[in-house]
Structure 1
Amino acid sequence: MRGFGFLTSSFAASSFAASSVGVTCAAALALPLALPAAAAPPRPAPTADRATTTAGGTAQGALAGSTQSLPLVPLTRSHVLGTAAEQGLYRKDVHHFSLVGVIWDNPGIELHGRVQVRTRSAATGTWSGWQDVETHNADHGADPGTEESTSGRVRGATAPLWVGDSDGVDVRVRADTEQITVDGRTVTAPAALPTGLRLELVDPGAEPPPAGSPADAARNNAGLDEAAIAASAVNTDLAPLGAAEIQTLTKKETERELLTLRAAEQPAGARQSKPYIGPRPRIVTRHGWAADEKLRERGFVYTNTVKAAFVHHTASGNKYTCSQAPSVIRGIYRYHVKSMGWRDIGYNFLVDKCGNIYEGRAGGVTKAVMGAHTLGFNSNSMGIAVIGTFNSSKPPAASVTAIAKLTAWKLGLFGANPKGKTYLKSGGGNLYPKGKNVRLNVISGHRDGYATDCPGKKLYSKLGSARSTAARYQGR
């Protein structure tokens, strides 16, 4: 039986303290509106990295995917504060893509408007209807003042939208209207759109062929490069190097594993209480969903412990099959890193509509990896994103069950009760000022830490059930 390679409960803080800083988130009128506060300097536009092919077939770059970053153009002559009130782009000559989003220069500015896209299917040549893209994405990201948030690479962005294999795109961004006072009278005018609007077309790439048996993978490092070896090595207490998944354990096996670890960390002869922990669930590793480890920043960043789990939805739509989930995750990963400028995918774990669980941000599934999922509350927490949009659609029962299984296990590693309350210190946000100790459910929705619709009304309403089920899995 392998050990976890981490400390839990009262032993977690002392172990993680040394690593908490880590190692190398209509037509418009031109009116004399008041100028906004000084904006951050424009960030360089992300570089398009179109995949290439060779005479012998698909190149490694194509396997890894690509991002096309295209500037939007004015669709109206009217401007507000130098930006057109409606911008867009129509292209039918683009490299294949499956996920879209819109980004802009300053991550501190929100897009007050509506973003819609329609895409042309690469398989049938038909155009989709117009689809809305979720614009309120500022609530995700690294905490203010952290190295990740102040890197100079971070950009504002919509949520990504999964559209399937496409080769044409039509996008329009229309500013909301607002009431303003001009010369003592109230008029309606469009809001100013953010500067530097760009359309991101993401090709998640093809999955590589099977790597052979786990034994063969372990002998030859699974053909992994240095970055991939590092991402897999932090899980070798649970699975062989290069494994595509971490296999499930029974509750007794999980308890025995945890007790063995605690015995190694405690003084000889110390009494141990029976742990409250759920069976370890099956987890698809980053290697299993074919993450391109060269995209992310090197090294991992950890916090002290895991006291709470925040549940999210990706707001990327529900039009995917479970077999496509790895591709969706690769697309979100590339969008978070290449388009939004984060160090890695923001979530610690992802769950698909069939209840499959996926490793998110690199650093080890048993460890307190710092994510970029709940702005202001990324320390001492983890983020779980259900792939889909659940404002009006009910989440699949399998997804809710997976949340319960995952939290019962991961929170159990750190001695946390899924039905309990805990305190987290705010890193700053629109609900709680920086430094405030906030009492939260151990399993919370994103909206509990930040004023947002995430994880959607329908998924949020299921969290009570997830808490009770997770506690039952722990034996409480």
Structure 2
Amino acid sequence: MWPHRVLLGAAVLPLTLLTLRDAPVRLVLPVPAAPAHERPRGGVPQPAIVSRAAWHADEGMVREPAVYTGAVRAVFIHHTGESNDYDCADVPRMLQAVEEAHIKGNGWDDIGYNFLVDRCGTIYEGRAGGIGRSVRGAHTTGFNADSVGIAVLGNYGRGTKVPPVLIGALAKVAAWKLRPGADPRGKVRLVSTNDASRYPKGTAATLHVIAGHRDVYQTNCPGEALYAQLPAIRAATAALRERLTGTADAETPR
């Protein structure tokens, strides 16, 4: 998450003070979505996702090629921490600011999150490397391996309303990206790779398959309101996988 409010345009660079330190290494709406042909073994289709090309990511700014990891065993939910009163038509500019903050401000190779979701429920490609591939992000200190990080644009602290369309969008990404055999309502055992997390390097942690950033890092991210909706996100993800494949863990379609 970011501890400062975002101002669109040139005033966005204060967003560089993120609490994520485990890095590997002109739009006209409606926008074209990334190709939807990618489908994991379990049969959950890719949702509509606005590509990096569509939101005009600066690929020349990216420092290193993507690094790949194993199949997604866990999903970490974040919020970015800025104001919620943005116009969704301005999101591409906000994403460009995030990219610049992460690369030039934090010194990372690329934007940290794998995906971002706006308050209107639109899903955006974050870190480069292939939407349908298991790209290692820089979103959750100590637990970037075999996981995916999804950030919600905005501040979802105590008393904030979480739009149902936002919960639905998070569920779509989670249902699609989680490996077959992962129950969205279940637990997973992951080993920390960074002493800066809540779990020292080498420590095994038993976590929710769909967890909040605060579960593994000293932060209030993804905010009290969004964190309180994690059970609803897990349930929506499981229901979507059950509807599409006949089972919440999406082993094989029936």
C-alpha distance in structure 1 between counterparts of 2:78 and 2:27, whole Å: 29
1:448 pairs with 197, 215, 229, which one? 215
Cα deviation, residue 280, structure 1: 2.1
Does residue 245 (structure 1) correspond to residue 66 (structure 2)? The answer is no
Does residue 300 (structure 1) correspond to residue 66 (structure 2)? The answer is yes
In structure 1, give the amino acid aligned to 2:177: K
2:240 aligned residue: 473
Which deviates more, 357-366 or 427-436?
A: 427-436
- Is the radius of gyration larger for structure 1 or structure 2? 1
Does residue 384 (structure 1) correspond to residue 150 (structure 2)? The answer is yes
What is the RMSD computed on CA atoms of the aligned residues? Answer: 2.2
1:28 aligned residue: none
Contact 1:244/1:286 (CA < 8 Å) preserved in 2?
no
**Structure 1: tracts of 5 or more residues without a match:** 1-95, 104-134, 149-206, 211-242, 260-274
TM-score of the superposed pair, with normalisation by structure 2: 0.84
User: What CA deviation, in whole Å up to 9, does each residue of 1:62-102 have, x standing for no partner?
Assistant: xxxxxxxxxxxxxxxxxxxxxxxxxxxxxxxxxx6241407
In structure 2, give the amino acid aligned to 1:330: Q
2:123 aligned residue: 357
TM-score of the superposed pair, with normalisation by structure 1: 0.46
Cα deviation, residue 325, structure 1: 1.0
Q: Secondary structure at the match of 1:278?
A: coil
User: What CA deviation, in whole Å up to 9, does each residue of 1:298-322 have, x standing for no partner?
Assistant: 3111112211000000012212111
Contact 2:71/2:178 (CA < 8 Å) preserved in 1?
no
1:461 aligned residue: 228
C-alpha distance in structure 2 between counterparts of 1:418 and 1:288, whole Å: 30
C-alpha distance in structure 2 between counterparts of 1:337 and 1:448, whole Å: 25
Aligned counterparts, 1:61-210, within 5 A: 97-101=10-14, 137-138=18-19, 140-142=20-22, 148=25, 207=26
Q: Which has the higher contact order (CA 8 A, sep 6+)?
A: 2
**Structure 2: tracts of 5 or more residues without a match:** 1-8, 243-247, 249-254
1:328 aligned residue: 94
2:182 pairs with 416, 424, 434, which one? 416
In structure 2, give the amino acid aligned to 1:361: R
C-alpha distance in structure 2 between counterparts of 1:300 and 1:470, whole Å: 27
Runs of 4+ that moved beyond 3 A: none
2:174 pairs with 407, 431, 438, which one? 407
In structure 2, give the amino acid aligned to 1:312: H
C-alpha distance in structure 2 between counterparts of 1:404 and 1:334, whole Å: 28
Q: How many residues align?
A: 232
C-alpha distance in structure 2 between counterparts of 1:442 and 1:430, whole Å: 17
Contact 2:143/2:193 (CA < 8 Å) preserved in 1?
yes
Which deviates more, 385-394 or 343-352?
A: 385-394
C-alpha distance in structure 2 between counterparts of 1:468 and 1:208, whole Å: 34
Cα deviation, residue 415, structure 1: 3.7
Contact 1:244/1:289 (CA < 8 Å) preserved in 2?
no
In structure 2, give the amino acid aligned to 1:99: V
C-alpha distance in structure 2 between counterparts of 1:394 and 1:300, whole Å: 35
In structure 1, give the amino acid aligned to 2:120: C
1:397 aligned residue: 164
Q: Which has the higher strand share?
A: 1
Cα deviation, residue 244, structure 1: 3.8
